[in-house]
């Protein structure tokens, strides 16, 4: 499992007080499924609902994954995702596509 933690100084405006945490794993005996990644990375929950394909946060999630982890997020219709938390100041999402599992946690204190 790889972890990426980005503080507010990784964003265009450090005053935004944003942070992003990522945990990324490939399917393996150590991490056979998305639930095992969530239990190992300290996610707040292991289940939730599938966000809709038109969920307004998808572009931001895709941009963060590309910018901070060099991952290309496929179209939301081509992946399995679980929305664990969806607040204006705290978004937590688990994504599975192909053999890749991703835990995404964005927050701000602004």
The domain segmentation of the chain, as residue ranges, is 2-108
d(CA 20, CA 5): 6
- pLDDT for 25-81, tens place per residue? 999 999 999 999 999 998 998 889 999 999 999 999 999 999 999 999 999 999 999
pLDDT tops 90 at residue 86: yes
> Which residues 6+ apart lie within 8 Å of 48 measured at CB?
82, 83, 84, 85, 94
The vertex-102 CA angle with 40 and 26, nearest 5°, equals 80
């Amino acid at each position: 499992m790889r972890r990426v933690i980005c503080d507010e100084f990784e964003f265009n405006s450090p005053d935004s007080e944003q942070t992003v945490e990522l945990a990324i794993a490939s399917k393996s005996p150590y991490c056979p499924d998305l639930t095992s990644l969530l239990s190992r990375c300290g996610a707040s929950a292991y289940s939730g609902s599938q966000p809709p394909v038109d969920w307004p946060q998808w572009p931001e999630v895709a941009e963060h994954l590309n910018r901070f982890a060099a991952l290309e997020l496929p179209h939301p219709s081509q992946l399995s995702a679980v929305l664990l938390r969806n607040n204006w100041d705290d978004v937590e999402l688990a994504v599975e596509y192909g053999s890749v599992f991703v835990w995404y946690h964005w927050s701000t204190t602004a």
